[in-house]
Amino acid sequence: MNSRERVMAAANHQEPDRVPVDMVLTIDVYRDMKKVLNMEYLPDSPRMGRWTEVQMPIEMIKKLGIDMYYVSPRSGVSVHTKSFQDGSFTDEWGCYWKKTAIAGGHFYFELVNPPLANATIEDLETYIWPDPEDPKRYAGLQEEMKGVRETTDLAILAKFAGAVFELATYMRGHERWYRDIVNNQEFAHALMDKICQIQKRTNEVIMAEVGEYVDILRLSGEDLGMQDRPLMSPKTFKKVVKPHLKEHFEHAKKTLHQYNPEAKIMLHSCGAIKPFIADLIDCGVDVLDPVQPAATNMDRYELKKEFGNDMVFHGNIDIQKILPFGTKEEITHEVREAIKALAPGGGFLLSPAHNVQGDVSAENLVHMVNCVHQFGNYPINLD
C-alpha cells in the first residue's frame, strides 16, 4: 500500500499493511529535525501557525517516513488584524496573541485582553466580524494541494475553518465564558451561532476551491477536557454546546462529501473527554485527535472496546512524559502498547498526542517512527 491507501484503509476501519504514522512539528522541533535528518538546506522558517506549528516540507515527510501531509489554515484580514514588533499579533477576530518566552529558549503565543470580555448581545450585532469569503484564506491553496496529490502518495490532512466553542472562549475570556454557559446561556448561544455561521461559510468557500484533494478535514480544536476531568458537565454540554458543534460538524461533512465522498472529518479535543465521545460520534466526527493517554479515563484499551467500531483514533503517544523525557526503551514500550490496544481491525493513526513541543528531541521522534515501522505491520501480533 502507499501512504494514502494506508491512511484511508485505517480511517475506514480496515487493516492496512501497517499502522499509519503522522505528526505536526512546532518551529523549534522542526529546526532540530533538520539537523538530525541532515536536511539543513531546508527553509529555516516555513509557514508557521498560531500555535507555532509549521508546514513540514515534503522532503522531510518522506525521509522521516510518515504518511500524511498537513495543510495548515490561512487567515483572512480584518480591521482587527495587526502585527507588533515583538512578534505578538491581533488576529482577524480581534484576539490579541502575546508572544511569550518559555523555558529552553522557546516561545508560544498566549491570549490576553479578550475582545468581547464585556460585550452584550446587542454588541454582537455591531462587532466587526471576519469575512469568510476573503480570498486570502485560499490564496495558493489549490496549487499546493494539487501539487501534493499529483506528485506524492501522501494522504492530505487539511484544516480550513476554525473553532466555535473554543473561539468563543478566546473572544470572551475563559472565566467569563464558563460563567456564560451556565448563567448567561442566551448570550452563549448568540455568540456561538455568530461564530458557527462564519465557520460554515468559510468551509464552503474553501472546499469549493480544493475539496477534491482533502482526505481528512481537521476541524479546529474544541478542547473539552482538562487533565483529570471534563471542562463542563455532560448536561451543560448537551444543552448549550453540542447543538452548535453538531451544526458545524454536520455541515462540514456534508460540504466535504460534495467534493470527495470518501473523505473523513477529524476533531481535535484534548484531555479527559470520554464522557463526550458518544456525543461527538452523534455529531458526525469520524476521527478523534489526540486521544491523550495520560488524561483521566482515557485508557486506550477501554476506548477501543467502547468506541472502536465508530471512531478512528489519531494520536495516543504520550507527549507529556514519554516523548520528552522517556528513554528509547520507554518510547518503544509506549508505541507497542498503543499499537496493541488501538490498531487491531484498523481505526488507528499513530501520532504524538499533540503538536510536538520544543522539549521533545528529534531523535526521539525518529525512534518513534522507526518503532511504528518495526512493530506496526499487520496482522498485529504483539502479545
> Does residue 223 register a pLDDT over 90?
yes
3-state secondary structure of 101: strand
Return left, alpha or beta for 345; rule: phi > 0 is left, psi -120 to 50 is alpha, else beta: left
Q: Where are the beta strands (DSSP E) in 242-360?
A: 264-268, 287-289, 312-317, 348-352
132: how many CB neighbours lie within 10 A of its CB?
A: 18
Question: Over the stretch 119-159, which tens digit does the pLDDT of each residue have?
Answer: 999 999 999 999 999 999 999 999 999 999 999 999 999 99
Which residue, among 170, 205, 201, has the nearest Cα to 92 in the 3D structure? 170
Average pLDDT over residues 302-328: 98
To 5 degrees, how large is the angle CA 266–CA 361–CA 65?
A: 55
pTM higher than 0.95: yes
Cα separation of 89 and 5, whole Å? 40
Phi, psi of 137 (to 5 degrees): -65, -30
Question: Over the stretch 340-375, which tens digit does the pLDDT of each residue have?
Answer: 999 999 999 999 999 999 999 999 999 999 999 999
> In the structure, what pLDDT confidence band is assigned to residue 108 with cuts at 50, 70 and 90?
confident
3-state secondary structure of 98: strand
Place of cell 494522504: 155
Domains defined for the chain, CATH in brackets? 3-375 (3.20.20.210)
Average pLDDT of every residue of the chain: 96
Cα separation of 19 and 27, whole Å? 26
Q: List all residues 6 or more positions away from 227 whose beta carbon is below 8 Å from its beta carbon.
A: 271, 272, 294, 295, 296
> Does residue 104 register a pLDDT over 80?
no
Cα separation of 299 and 286, whole Å? 19
What pLDDT does 379 receive? 96
Strand (E) or helix (H) holding 372: helix 362-375
Question: Over the stretch 5-62, which tens digit does the pLDDT of each residue have?
Answer: 999 999 999 999 999 999 999 999 999 999 999 999 999 989 888 889 999 999 999 9
What pLDDT does 14 receive? 98
> Which one-letter DSSP state was computed for residue 328?
H
Question: Over the stretch 228-249, which tens digit does the pLDDT of each residue have?
Answer: 999 999 999 999 999 999 999 9
CA count, 13 A, side-chain hemisphere, 323? 30
Which residue, among 327, 380, 328, has the nearest Cα to 350 in the 3D structure? 380
Q: List all residues 6 or more positions away from 71 whose beta carbon is below 8 Å from its beta carbon.
A: 55, 141, 144, 145, 148, 156, 157, 158, 159
Cross-strand partners of 106:
102
Question: Over the stretch 315-325, which tens digit does the pLDDT of each residue have?
Answer: 999 999 999 99
